[in-house]
Protein backbone atom coordinates (compact mmCIF):
# COMPACT_ATOMS: atom_id res chain seq x y z
CA UNK A 1 0.00 0.00 0.00
CA UNK A 2 3.04 2.26 -0.22
CA UNK A 3 2.04 4.13 -3.40
CA UNK A 4 -1.50 4.61 -2.15
CA UNK A 5 -0.27 5.95 1.17
CA UNK A 6 2.11 8.40 -0.52
CA UNK A 7 -0.64 9.72 -2.77
CA UNK A 8 -3.02 10.18 0.16
CA UNK A 9 -0.46 11.87 2.41
CA UNK A 10 0.88 14.15 -0.34
CA UNK A 11 -2.60 15.37 -1.21
CA UNK A 12 -3.41 16.13 2.42
CA UNK A 13 -0.14 17.96 3.09
CA UNK A 14 -1.07 20.55 0.45
CA UNK A 15 -3.83 21.81 2.74
CA UNK A 16 -1.72 22.82 5.79
CA UNK A 17 0.97 24.32 3.56
CA UNK A 18 -1.58 26.63 1.96
CA UNK A 19 -3.15 27.46 5.31
CA UNK A 20 0.26 28.13 6.84
CA UNK A 21 0.88 30.67 4.09
CA UNK A 22 -2.46 32.28 4.81
CA UNK A 23 -1.71 32.55 8.52
CA UNK A 24 1.05 35.03 7.84
CA UNK A 25 -1.41 37.40 6.20
CA UNK A 26 -3.91 36.85 8.98
CA UNK A 27 -1.90 39.01 11.31
CA UNK A 28 -3.41 42.33 9.55
CA UNK A 29 -18.97 19.13 17.20
CA UNK A 30 -18.78 16.34 15.00
CA UNK A 31 -18.75 12.73 16.17
CA UNK A 32 -15.39 11.01 16.42
CA UNK A 33 -16.51 7.39 16.42
CA UNK A 34 -16.71 5.35 13.25
CA UNK A 35 -20.12 4.46 11.94
CA UNK A 36 -21.00 0.80 12.15
CA UNK A 37 -21.35 -0.95 8.85
CA UNK A 38 -21.37 -4.53 7.73
CA UNK A 39 -17.95 -5.50 6.47
CA UNK A 40 -17.84 -7.78 3.46
CA UNK A 41 -14.90 -9.97 2.55
CA UNK A 42 -13.47 -11.12 -0.75
CA UNK A 43 -13.25 -7.82 -2.66
CA UNK A 44 -10.60 -8.00 -5.37
CA UNK A 45 -7.52 -5.81 -5.00
CA UNK A 46 -8.62 -3.86 -8.06
CA UNK A 47 -12.18 -3.25 -6.82
CA UNK A 48 -10.94 -2.31 -3.37
CA UNK A 49 -8.36 0.17 -4.62
CA UNK A 50 -10.85 1.76 -7.05
CA UNK A 51 -13.27 2.17 -4.15
CA UNK A 52 -10.62 3.72 -1.93
CA UNK A 53 -9.46 6.07 -4.70
CA UNK A 54 -13.00 7.21 -5.42
CA UNK A 55 -13.75 7.82 -1.76
CA UNK A 56 -10.48 9.64 -1.23
CA UNK A 57 -10.90 11.81 -4.33
CA UNK A 58 -14.32 12.89 -3.03
CA UNK A 59 -12.64 13.69 0.27
CA UNK A 60 -9.86 15.77 -1.30
CA UNK A 61 -12.35 17.68 -3.44
CA UNK A 62 -14.53 18.43 -0.42
CA UNK A 63 -11.58 19.56 1.73
CA UNK A 64 -10.32 21.83 -1.06
CA UNK A 65 -13.79 23.34 -1.41
CA UNK A 66 -13.98 23.98 2.33
CA UNK A 67 -10.46 25.40 2.25
CA UNK A 68 -11.52 27.93 -0.38
CA UNK A 69 -14.22 29.08 2.03
CA UNK A 70 -11.73 29.69 4.83
CA UNK A 71 -11.09 33.43 5.22
CA UNK A 72 -7.78 33.93 7.05
CA UNK A 73 -7.61 37.70 6.73
CA UNK A 74 -9.60 40.69 7.89
CA UNK A 75 -9.93 43.10 10.77
CA UNK A 76 -12.73 41.10 12.37
CA UNK A 77 -10.73 38.58 14.41
CA UNK A 78 -13.86 36.82 15.64
CA UNK A 79 -14.91 36.23 12.02
CA UNK A 80 -11.47 34.79 11.15
CA UNK A 81 -11.71 32.48 14.16
CA UNK A 82 -15.20 31.34 13.19
CA UNK A 83 -14.07 30.71 9.62
CA UNK A 84 -11.28 28.47 10.94
CA UNK A 85 -13.69 26.62 13.24
CA UNK A 86 -16.10 26.11 10.35
CA UNK A 87 -13.26 24.70 8.23
CA UNK A 88 -12.28 22.23 10.95
CA UNK A 89 -15.90 21.22 11.57
CA UNK A 90 -16.30 20.53 7.87
CA UNK A 91 -13.07 18.56 7.63
CA UNK A 92 -14.05 16.45 10.64
CA UNK A 93 -17.38 15.69 8.96
CA UNK A 94 -15.65 14.88 5.65
CA UNK A 95 -13.23 12.54 7.42
CA UNK A 96 -16.10 10.72 9.11
CA UNK A 97 -17.76 10.27 5.73
CA UNK A 98 -14.51 8.88 4.32
CA UNK A 99 -14.14 6.45 7.23
CA UNK A 100 -17.69 5.21 6.61
CA UNK A 101 -17.03 4.71 2.88
CA UNK A 102 -13.77 2.82 3.52
CA UNK A 103 -15.46 0.65 6.13
CA UNK A 104 -18.27 -0.16 3.69
CA UNK A 105 -15.74 -1.43 1.12
CA UNK A 106 -14.97 -4.36 3.36
CA UNK A 107 -11.76 -6.35 3.02
CA UNK A 108 -9.65 -6.85 -0.11
CA UNK A 109 -8.99 -10.48 -1.05
CA UNK A 110 -5.21 -10.20 -0.73
CA UNK A 111 -2.56 -11.29 1.73
CA UNK A 112 -3.03 -9.28 4.95
CA UNK A 113 -6.20 -7.81 3.46
CA UNK A 114 -7.96 -7.59 6.82
CA UNK A 115 -4.96 -5.88 8.43
CA UNK A 116 -4.59 -3.45 5.51
CA UNK A 117 -8.29 -2.50 5.54
CA UNK A 118 -8.32 -2.11 9.33
CA UNK A 119 -5.18 0.02 9.31
CA UNK A 120 -6.44 2.29 6.55
CA UNK A 121 -9.69 2.87 8.42
CA UNK A 122 -7.89 3.31 11.75
CA UNK A 123 -5.54 5.92 10.29
CA UNK A 124 -8.41 8.09 9.10
CA UNK A 125 -10.24 7.57 12.40
CA UNK A 126 -7.11 8.78 14.22
CA UNK A 127 -6.89 11.77 11.88
CA UNK A 128 -10.52 12.58 12.68
CA UNK A 129 -9.79 12.40 16.41
CA UNK A 130 -6.74 14.65 16.02
CA UNK A 131 -8.82 17.18 14.08
CA UNK A 132 -11.46 17.15 16.82
CA UNK A 133 -8.81 17.86 19.47
CA UNK A 134 -7.49 20.71 17.34
CA UNK A 135 -11.01 22.06 16.94
CA UNK A 136 -11.54 21.96 20.71
CA UNK A 137 -8.30 23.88 21.26
CA UNK A 138 -9.20 26.38 18.53
CA UNK A 139 -12.43 27.23 20.31
CA UNK A 140 -10.29 28.95 22.96
CA UNK A 141 -8.46 31.23 20.51
CA UNK A 142 -8.43 34.78 21.93
CA UNK A 143 -10.07 37.57 19.94
CA UNK A 144 -8.99 40.51 22.07
CA UNK A 145 -6.24 41.59 19.67
CA UNK A 146 -4.61 40.54 16.41
CA UNK A 147 -1.30 39.97 18.16
CA UNK A 148 -2.75 37.61 20.76
CA UNK A 149 -4.81 35.79 18.13
CA UNK A 150 -1.85 35.32 15.79
CA UNK A 151 0.41 34.13 18.61
CA UNK A 152 -2.13 31.49 19.60
CA UNK A 153 -3.14 30.58 16.05
CA UNK A 154 0.31 29.77 14.64
CA UNK A 155 0.96 26.80 16.96
CA UNK A 156 -2.45 25.38 16.03
CA UNK A 157 -1.58 25.58 12.33
CA UNK A 158 1.72 23.85 13.07
CA UNK A 159 -0.16 21.12 14.94
CA UNK A 160 -2.55 20.80 12.01
CA UNK A 161 0.39 20.25 9.67
CA UNK A 162 1.96 17.76 12.08
CA UNK A 163 -1.29 15.79 12.33
CA UNK A 164 -1.61 15.51 8.54
CA UNK A 165 2.08 14.81 7.98
CA UNK A 166 1.99 12.02 10.56
CA UNK A 167 -1.08 10.48 8.96
CA UNK A 168 -0.62 7.03 7.49
CA UNK A 169 2.57 5.99 9.24
CA UNK A 170 1.07 2.61 10.14
CA UNK A 171 0.51 1.81 6.49
CA UNK A 172 4.26 1.42 6.04
CA UNK A 173 4.18 -1.94 7.78
CA UNK A 174 2.31 -3.48 4.85
CA UNK A 175 4.24 -4.10 1.64
CA UNK A 176 0.94 -4.43 -0.20
CA UNK A 177 2.38 -5.48 -3.56
CA UNK A 178 -1.03 -6.52 -4.89
CA UNK A 179 -2.69 -3.31 -3.71
CA UNK A 180 0.18 -1.19 -5.06
CA UNK A 181 -0.09 -2.92 -8.43
CA UNK A 182 -3.86 -2.41 -8.48
CA UNK A 183 -3.39 1.26 -7.58
CA UNK A 184 -0.92 1.77 -10.43
CA UNK A 185 -3.18 -0.02 -12.93
CA UNK A 186 -6.48 1.67 -12.05
CA UNK A 187 -7.43 4.67 -14.23
CA UNK A 188 -9.72 5.77 -11.40
CA UNK A 189 -6.63 6.29 -9.23
CA UNK A 190 -4.83 8.52 -11.73
CA UNK A 191 -6.67 11.59 -10.42
CA UNK A 192 -5.59 10.75 -6.88
CA UNK A 193 -1.97 10.65 -8.01
CA UNK A 194 -2.44 13.94 -9.86
CA UNK A 195 -4.10 15.63 -6.90
CA UNK A 196 -1.20 14.57 -4.70
CA UNK A 197 1.26 16.65 -6.70
CA UNK A 198 2.18 19.84 -4.79
pLDDT reported for residue 132: 95
Flag the least confident range among 50-54, 101-105, 194-198.
Answer: 194-198
Q: What's the pTM value of the predicted model, to 2 decimals? A: 0.74
Helices and strands per DSSP (H, E), number in the chain: 7, 0
Question: Is 24 in contact with 52 (CB distance < 8 Å)?
Answer: no
| Average pLDDT score over residue span 7-33 | 44
> How many CA within 13 A on the CB side of residue 116?
27
| Average pLDDT score over residue span 25-45 | 47
**Would you call 43 helix, strand, or coil by DSSP?**
strand
Distance CA 3, CA 11 (A): 12
| Average pLDDT score over residue span 101-114 | 88
Give residue 192's pLDDT band: very low, low, confident or very high (50, 70, 90). Answer: low
Distance CA 89, CA 91 (A): 6
Distance CA 74, CA 127 (A): 29
pLDDT reported for residue 179: 80
What's the start-to-end Cα distance of the chain, in Å?
21
Residues 6+ apart with CB under 8 A from 55: 98, 101, 102, 105
Tell me: pLDDT of 195 over 60.
Answer: no
**Would you call 108 helix, strand, or coil by DSSP?**
strand
Distance CA 39, CA 34 (A): 13
| Bridge partners, 6 (sequence order) | none
* pLDDT tens digits for range 118-158: 888 888 888 899 999 999 999 999 999 988 998 998 889 88
Nearest to 102 by CA among 87, 89, 119: 119
Backbone angles phi, psi at 73, to 5 degrees: -125, 165
Q: Biggest alpha carbon distance in the chain?
A: 57
* pLDDT tens digits for range 81-99: 999 999 999 999 999 999 9
Q: What is the mean pLDDT of the chain?
A: 75
Amino acid sequence: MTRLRLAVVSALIVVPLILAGCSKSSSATAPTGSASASVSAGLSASDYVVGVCGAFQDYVDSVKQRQSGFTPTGADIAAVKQSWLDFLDGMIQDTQTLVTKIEALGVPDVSDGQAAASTLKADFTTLQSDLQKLRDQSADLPTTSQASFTAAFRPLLQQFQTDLTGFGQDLNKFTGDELDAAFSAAPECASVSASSSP
